[in-house]
Amino acid sequence: MTRSSKWRALAFLGVAILAPLFSAAQNPPARANMCNACHGPNGNAVLKDMPSIAGQPKVFIENQLVLIREGMRDIPQMKGVLDNVPDTELTELANHYTSLKIAKPPAQKQTALYDKGETLSKEMRCGICHLPTYVGRDQMPRLAGQREDYLLYTMRAMKANQAVGRDPIMIASLYGISDDDLKAISHYLSRLNN
Ligand code: HEC
Ligand code: HEC
């Protein structure tokens, strides 16, 4: 072997060894195809009452996946979906979805409803946990840009105490709120482009 062909061989070996590492970081986990069937392309939901999971904090996704797998958060549609899926794969899924960008919110908004939602969210101090930009952190979900119908659906369920496995402090923070106020908050949060 000549000197230069030896270097070429070494360089080739380097690429051969490193390529799978890089592609592992970029390729979505195989199971993500199934998730996207419900949660939408790249985790951006297009179905009614379905949460987008793109851009959610990693810890939030990971926690929810464990709760759902163990049947502690009751989601009939996801029954069986995570049976026997190991923790390592749940972490891969969380890493994948947290790295994706949430889609731009719909441009159309109802100004009076939006303003009411903004005032209520401030008064009720939702940003203390979800952050003032509502992008979430750690176990606190992103609310900014989430689907309006999902926000309303899930807050109604929490308020009616029908959301099995949801955080009791979260449920308590909706105590006594009216349905009209939930509508305003959902509209406001769904239009935030943060
Ligand atoms: C058959 C449809 C379906 C499939 C497949 C599915 N999900 Fe879900 N998922 C749902 C629904 C519906 C909800 C919300 C239900 C609710 O809040 O009552 C949900 C909730 C979630 C949540 C909590 C989101 C939030 O904002 O509270 C996460 C995280 C999640 N799914 C991740 C996944 C992942 C990852 C996969 C693939 C392994 C997956 N889902 C597959 C229907 C599905
Ligand atoms: C003490 C901290 C805290 C406060 C205050 C708080 N939240 Fe939450 N919220 C959480 C946590 C933690 C979760 C996720 C855990 C869970 O759902 O069990 C959550 C979940 C949610 C969800 C479900 C989102 C999803 O994708 O699943 C909505 C909607 C929400 N909060 C809205 C609000 C609104 C509106 C307010 C103000 C009225 C508020 N939160 C105040 C901690 C808080």
Please say whether the beta carbons of 117 and 188 come within 8 A.
yes
Ligand 1 centroid to Cα of residue 42, in Å, is 13
Relative to the CA of 150, which ligand 1 atom is closest? 17
pLDDT digits 0-9 by tens, 98-122 = 999 999 999 999 999 999 999 999 9
Please say whether the beta carbons of 82 and 93 come within 8 A.
no
The confidence score (pLDDT) of residue 27 equals 81
Please say whether the beta carbons of 175 and 79 come within 8 A.
no
Name which of 93, 29, 24 is nearest 62 in CA terms: 93
Q: Is the CB of 143 under 6 A from ligand 2?
A: yes
Q: Probe ligand 1: pick from 69, 75, 159, max atoms within 8 Å of CB?
A: 75
Relative to the CA of 34, which ligand 1 atom is closest? 5
pLDDT at 64 over 60: yes
Q: Count the Cβ atoms, other than its own, within 10 Å of residue 134.
A: 21
Ligand 2 centroid to Cα of residue 140, in Å, is 7
d(CA 96, CA 32): 9
83 Cβ contact partners less than 8 Å away, ≥ 6 residues apart: 69
pLDDT digits 0-9 by tens, 17-48 = 554 444 444 688 999 999 999 999 999 999 99
d(CA 99, CA 94): 9
> How does residue 161 score in pLDDT terms, banded at 50, 70 and 90?
confident
Relative to the CA of 157, which ligand 1 atom is closest? 18
Ligand 1 centroid to Cα of residue 19, in Å, is 32
